[in-house]
A = this chain, B = another copy of it.
Amino acid sequence: MRLLLVEDDERVAAALVAVLGRHGFQVRHARSGHEALDALVPDGNEPYRVVLLDLGLPDRDGFEVCSRIRAGSGVPVIMVTARADVRSRIHGLNLGADDYVTKPYDMGELLARIHAVARRGAAPSAVAVPAPDAVPQQRGPLESRGIRIDRERRRVSVDGRDVPLTRKEFDLLALLAQSPGVVYRREQIFSEVWRSGWEGNGRTLEVHIGSLRNKLALPGLVEAVRGVGYRLIPDRPAPTAADPAPPAPAEH
């Protein structure tokens, strides 16, 4: 889940990036309002799910950045600031912020609030949203071809038979199963399953694919696409070029 952090204090930012990263966010750090607005123009990448707007001292600026963001995008904004007075809170919220948190804040609460607005922001926004397709990131148990994937319980069953998977195996399958038929490139797989872009030199990916195939025991399910990556074969033939595949999270 991508998150845009707007923070001018390097040390605070570094700490936040570390914690947020550990909690599964892919954080982009903007040092100024200008940089933040640049980062928000659609560029084909996955859009940001939340903006953490933490402009400490140049107070007037923070509000303006918020309303500029709001003018161009529907992305949820959480203002984080030392200005605790009620008038500022009201002003910030009326400018379009989704939440307003004052320092000092509790890290756990901030995380909970981030999740709350991200959860809500996933719904179609009234304001002009530049990037139409948010990542599907399906909720309930995925199911296809007799394979049932329960993300909450981290369990997988094939035709009712429970199949224990290791961490990497599960993450790998969950990723591929997100959109059966779509080819996931090696780099993409590494960046999603292995945190932090690390290009595995060895045969790591192949080995994990191999053991996944063994455990699922469904020959032909996981298909290698030579020179590109892997994909899951959907139960139905696979949408040809004729009709458009509904969800396509794969980026180029």
Q: How far is the CA of A98 from the CA of B113 in the complex (A)?
A: 8
Q: Does A225 interact with chain B (Cβ within 8 Å)? A: yes
Q: How far is the CA of A23 from the CA of B197 in the complex (A)?
A: 10
Copies in the complex: 2
Taking residues whose C-beta sits less than 8 angstroms from the other chain, chain A's interface range is 35 or more
Q: Does A22 interact with chain B (Cβ within 8 Å)? A: yes
Decide if B241 touches A110 in the complex (CB within 8 Å): no
Q: Which residue of B lies closest to A153 (CB)?
A: B181
Instruction: List residues of A whose CB falls within 8 A of some B CB.
Output: 19, 22-23, 74, 76, 86, 89-90, 93-94, 96-99, 106-113, 115-117, 119-126, 129-130, 132, 139-141, 143, 148, 150, 152-155, 157, 159-160, 162, 166-167, 179, 181-183, 187, 190-191, 195-199, 225-228, 231, 237-238, 240-243, 246, 252
Decide if B90 touches A153 in the complex (CB within 8 Å): no
Decide if A241 touches B90 in the complex (CB within 8 Å): no
